[in-house]
Amino acid sequence: MKLLRSLLVVLAMSAGLSAIAQESLIRKNLAERMPQLPKIDEVSKSAVPGLYEVRVNEAEIFYTDAEGNFLIEGTIIDTRQRRNLTEERIDKLLAVNFDALPLKDAFTLVRGKGQRKLAVFEDPNCGYCKRFERDLQKVDNVTVYMFLYPILGPDSAEKSRSVWCAKDRSKAWMDWMVRDQALAPVAAPGCDQAAIARNVEFGRKHKISGTPTLFFADGTRVPGAIAAAQIEKRLADAK
């Protein structure tokens, strides 16, 4: 038994060294052959035998063979379970703990009892955001944490300041996004607008590249506008 245990330890160590050597080979070959590829964050086995995941820029995924001879850009679909494994992996990498969101830099819109939670990053000039806001009116019992995220130009920043500095931020936002009423100019010169800049900084750090971007209580993120039925399903899943 002692000899068997020793043999198992040796085999385990060999397997570990083999995995390390495999990763080193992939890193070396890709770095030499594709210098334009960003610095590799991680190399790991994928769900497909013989195929390795190469992760760069925190959440960008490529695939390669065991020697880094080929680099594949695309998605892996599990046809048996009908799952997009690449999308699931990226969603996991981009997930943000809801409690880690800077909620003090958002304003809230409460519907019904507001027991469920949803955080949304939106640009006031985003057409998809306006469509999303209209669908969101159909969702009840939710507290929406609205993060102003002006990334579409100077006018977006100006409109965001108008909303943030309004006496009633929620009303100003709904007037503009849902009722198509013009925003009043910033009336309070002493209004602290630093939250908007912090939102943009947070979004860049967490790779929020478009609006709307939604975060649910379980940390999952959804880029883009989704319909009320999908919002309801996500809220139920997060609970």
Give the CATH number for residue 60.
3.10.450.70
pLDDT in tens, 176-217: 999 999 998 876 678 899 999 999 999 998 989 999 999 999
Say yes or no: 119 and 171 in one domain: yes
Residue 26 pLDDT class (50, 70, 90 cuts):
very high
Pairing of strands 213-216, 221-223: antiparallel
Question: How many C-alpha atoms does 216 have within 13 Å on its Cβ side?
Answer: 17
CA angle, 106 then 133 then 181, to 5°: 90
Q: Which helix (H) or strand (E) holds 5?
A: helix 2-33
Residue 9 reports pLDDT greater than 60: no
Average pLDDT over residues 38-45: 95
Place of tokens 């809230």: 108
- Residue where a domain terminates, one of 79, 94, 109: 94
pLDDT in tens, 89-117: 988 888 889 999 999 999 999 999 999 99
Strand order in the sheet with 142-148: 107-111, 142-148, 116-122, 213-216, 221-223
Looking at the structure, do residues 68 and 124 belong to the same domain, yes or no?
Answer: no
Average pLDDT over residues 65-88: 94
Same domain, yes or no, for 46 and 13? yes
CATH assignment at residue 205: 3.40.30.10
3-class SS at 32? helix
Same domain, 133 and 90: no
DSSP code per residue over 112-160: TT--EEEEEEE-TT-HHHHHHHHHHTT--SEEEEEEE---S-HHHHHHH
Q: What does each C-alpha distance from 62 to 99, 115, 205, 223 come to in angstroms?
A: 30, 40, 21, 20
Asked which of 94, 114, 130 is the last residue of a domain, the reply is 94
Does the pLDDT at position 2 exceed 60?
Answer: no
14 pLDDT band, cuts 50/70/90, is very low
| Domain around 139 | 98-238
Residue 15: pLDDT band (50, 70, 90) is very low
Task: Find tokens 């750090």 and name the residue.
Answer: 205
Sign of CA dihedral 123, 124, 128, 134: positive
- The whole-number average pLDDT for the span 131-155 is 96
Indicate if 218 and 142 belong to the same structural domain: yes
pLDDT at 13 over 50: no
112-132, pLDDT tens digit by residue?
A: 999 999 999 999 999 999 999
Both 130 and 206 in one domain: the answer is yes
Domain end (from 94, 109, 125): 94
Question: Which CA distances in Å does 133 have to 74, 136, 139?
Answer: 32, 5, 10
- Is the domain of 31 the same as that of 111? no
Clarify whether residues 105 and 58 are in a common domain.
no
* Choice among 2-16, 33-47, 82-96 with the minimum mean pLDDT: 2-16
- pLDDT at position 47 is 94
Q: What confidence score (pLDDT) does residue 91 get? A: 84
